[in-house]
Chains A and B, each alone.
Chain A
């Protein structure tokens, strides 16, 4: 079965510093990987996805993610954090089976400190 781990419950970073939110996955076959962001009392917003191709994927709001097959990781990164990036971040993998469900990690709360 597909699974996603986000080993950090909380990440704190100073504004202007680079940020990394970690994600590792376990899938059978080639992974379809996604990052979403959630602001309080809102739905999830799509940031980026990896299906195939370049290991470095660029997404919305200056975010990017690096796919590493050997380490089964898909870490989210941003060169310079903004206070407005403070939110809950979810990594997800898409199941290849019936329904093609999305399996989400537990989420990482990012706090960017001014």
Chain B
């Protein structure tokens, strides 16, 4: 069966420090991968998506970047965090025509 792992669950980082959030998927091949950010428990903002290894599309220009070094691995990064990067980050995967499967999320607090 398919599973999605996202870690860490919570993270507290100082302003100006780097960030790396990792998401891995098991039980499927060539999934579409997504990073969303959710602020204040409300709507989801699509940050990045990927349809294949090395293929990254950015929806919102900001202080973050994403990479897909392997088929089932999706990484969200930042070189220098800002206070405004705080939020709840969700990774998701899907196949064409199917539903999205979400990870459990990472609560990032930048202090």
Contact = CB atoms under 8 A, between A and B. Distances in A.
B42 A102 contact: no
A44 interface: yes
A3 to B, nearest CB: 12
Contact of A100 (B42, B43, B94): B94
Interface in A46-65: 46, 49, 51
Interface size of A as a range: 20 to 34
Given A46-B101, A106-B43, A98 B51 contact: yes
Contact of A34 (B99, B103, B104): B99
Given A42-B104, A100-B32, A100-B94, A49 B99 contact: yes
Nearest to B90: A43
B110 interface: no
Nearest to B9: A41
Contacts of B88: 41
A101 B46 contact: yes
Nearest to B4: A43
B43 A99 contact: no
B41 interface: yes
B76 to A, nearest CB: 15
Contacts of A29: none
Nearest to A42: B104
A79 to B, nearest CB: 24
Interface of B: 6, 32, 34, 41-44, 46, 49, 51, 57, 59, 88, 90, 92, 94, 96-97, 99-105, 107
